[in-house]
Amino acid sequence: MTTLRLFGRARSAAGVSQDVIEASDLAELLAIAGERYGREFADIAECSVVWVNGEQAATTRPTMIRPGDEVALLPPVAGG
């Protein structure tokens, strides 16, 4: 199982700060989370920066994940 940590608007949309999800790659994990937490969350996830074990992941290519990995979802922030 992989730990998914959520921040900002992603946390608000999901209603939780973290979850544990079984998935073999990052795309599958985000798809499962989108199904679990709904369209608003899925929309936020699409424009978020994703980190796997402390390193920024490229969402444009497959990223394998293993049990025990930690994925952090950081949505864009606005402000001044």
Location of structure tokens 């969402």? 59
Both structure tokens of 39: 């369209």
> pLDDT per residue over 27-78, tens digit each?
999 999 999 999 999 999 999 999 999 999 986 778 999 999 999 999 988 7
What span, in angstroms and rounded, lies between the C-alpha atoms of 37 and 32?
9
What is the C-alpha to C-alpha distance for residues 7 and 9, in angstroms, rounded to an integer? 6
Tell how far CA 38 is from the center of its chain. 13
What is the number of residues in the chain? 80
CATH code of domain 2-74: 3.10.20.30
Domain ranges of the chain: 2-74
Is the pLDDT at 80 greater than 60? The verdict is no
- Contact between 17 and 37 under an 8 Å Cβ cutoff? The reply is no
